[in-house]
Amino acid sequence: MPLNNVKNILVGFTEEADVPSAALAYGLSLAREAGAHATALSASVKLVLTHAVVSRMAAGLVAGENQRVRELAEAAAESARRQADLEGVPCTVESVQLRYAELVERFTALSRVHDLTVVDADPDVLTMDRTLIEQAIFSSGRPVIVVPHGVDTFRAGRIIVAWDGTPKAVRALNDALPFLRAAEQVELVSVTGEKDLAKTVPGAEIAPHLARHAINVNVVNLPAQQGDVAETLRNHANLTQADMVVMGAYAHSRLRQLVLGGVTQSLLNASPVPLFLSY
Residues 139 and 50 in one domain: yes
Same-domain pairing of 206 and 136: no
- 103 and 177 both lie in a single domain: no
- The pLDDT value recorded for residue 16 is 59
Instruction: For residue 113, give the amino acid letter.
Output: V
Q: Which of 114, 147, 180 is the endpoint of a domain?
A: 147
Q: Are residues 86 and 163 in the same domain?
A: no
Contact status, residue 98 vs residue 106, Cβ threshold 8 Å = yes
Decide if 106 contacts 138 (C-beta within 8 A).
no
Where would I find the beta strands (DSSP E) of the chain? 8-13, 37-45, 91-98, 116-120, 144-147, 158-162, 185-192, 217-223, 244-248, 275-278
Distance CA 80, CA 91 (A): 9
AA letter at 215: I
Residues 76 and 167 in one domain: no
108-119 burial code (b ≥16 CB/10 A, e <16): bebbeebbbbbb
Q: Which of 90, 124, 147 is the last residue of a domain?
A: 147
Residue 53: other Cβ atoms inside 10 A: 5
Q: What is the pLDDT of residue 33?
A: 95
Measured between alpha carbons, how far is 279 from 266 in angstroms, rounded to an integer? 16
Phi, psi for 226 (deg, rounded to 5): 55, 35
Report the distance separating Cα 241 and Cα 236, nearest Å: 8
Q: What is the pLDDT of residue 258?
A: 45
Residue 80 sits in which domain range?
8-147
In a shared domain, residues 112 and 230: no
Residues 168, 251, single domain; the answer is yes
**Do both 128 and 255 map to the same domain?**
no
Question: 271 by DSSP, 3-state: which?
Answer: coil
pLDDT value at residue 60 = 80
Do 54 and 111 share a domain, yes or no? yes
Q: Are residues 138 and 29 in the same domain?
A: yes
Domain boundary among 112, 147, 182: 147
Query: 178 CB contacts (<8 Å, ≥6 apart)?
Result: 3, 4, 5, 6
CATH classification at residue 75: 3.40.50.620
Listed in sequence order, the residues at least 6 apart from 239 whose beta carbon sits closer than 8 Å to its beta carbon are none
Same domain (yes/no): 182, 128: no
Within a domain: residue 65? yes
- What does the alpha-carbon distance between residue 276 and residue 34 come to, in Å, rounded to a whole number? 16
Number of domains composing the chain = 2
Q: Which residues of the chain have pLDDT under 50?
A: 253-259
Contact by Cβ (8 Å): 146, 119: yes
